[in-house]
């Protein structure tokens, strides 16, 4: 078996990284769209369920207690309507990103880059206000994905190739 060249190894790594991003997007999209559907079709039921779940959550430790206090302070029918709208937007965008990445479209990668890069300043502000391990991990992961996709696109642009970037 012949040894892989650096370029072949890089292409294989890129394909693996892109496949992970595609799988994440393909799993996230239907889950967020299902949430949007529930919030749209049954806002009263969702409101009722969350109002009754909040007291139980408060007994589940510090993190769940924070969630219970957040629900008590912010849960309204209007907030659920805004949540539904955001879920529809996120689900549609994530679906489009997954499809374009799966098809090997370079501009699909740029769409992911723009989407994630616009979130980073908000994530950093949230970290400054209330630093948590989860927020730091989410921000770091978004920065890594943005850097990875930008590097991938620029490398392919410099090499003059129009390879599919790991599309199945």
Q: What is the helix (H) or strand (E) element at residue 13, kind and residue range?
A: helix 6-41
**pTM, 2 dp:** 0.71
**Could you write out the DSSP letters of every residue in 81-102?**
HHHHHHHHHHHHHHHHHHHHHH
| CB-CB neighbours of 22 under 10 Å | 22
Burial classification of residue 158, based on how many CB atoms lie within 10 Å of its CB (0-12 exposed, 13-18 middle, 19 or more buried): exposed
CA distance 2 to 123: 45
Taking alpha carbons only, the member of 95, 118, 90, 91 closest to residue 108 is 95
pLDDT of residue 30: 97
Within 8 A by CB and 6+ apart from 75, the residues are 47, 50, 51, 54
Please report, for residues 22, 24, 165, the alpha-carbon distance to residue 103 in angstroms, rounded to integers and kept in the order given. Answer: 10, 15, 9
Q: How confident is the model at residue 104 (pLDDT cuts 50, 70, 90)?
A: confident
The pLDDT tens digits for 110-129 are 999 999 899 899 999 999 99
């Amino acid at each position: 078996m012949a040894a892989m060249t650096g370029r072949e190894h890089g292409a294989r790594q890129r394909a693996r990284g892109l496949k992970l991003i595609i799988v994440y997007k393909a799993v996230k999209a239907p889950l967020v769209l299902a949430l949007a559907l529930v919030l749209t079709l049954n806002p009263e039921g969702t409101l009722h369920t969350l109002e009754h779940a909040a007291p139980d959550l408060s007994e589940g430790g510090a993190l769940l207690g924070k969630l219970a206090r957040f629900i008590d302070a912010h849960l309204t029918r209007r907030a659920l309507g805004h949540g539904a709208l955001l879920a529809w937007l996120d689900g549609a965008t994530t679906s489009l990103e997954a499809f374009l990445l799966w098809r090997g479209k370079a501009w699909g990668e740029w769409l992911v880059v723009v989407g994630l890069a616009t979130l980073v300043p908000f994530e950093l502000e949230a970290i400054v206000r209330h630093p948590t391990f989860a927020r730091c991990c989410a921000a770091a992961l978004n920065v890594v994905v943005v850097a990875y996709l930008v590097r991938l696109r620029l490398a392919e642009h410099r090499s003059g190739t129009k390879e599919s970037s790991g599309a199945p």
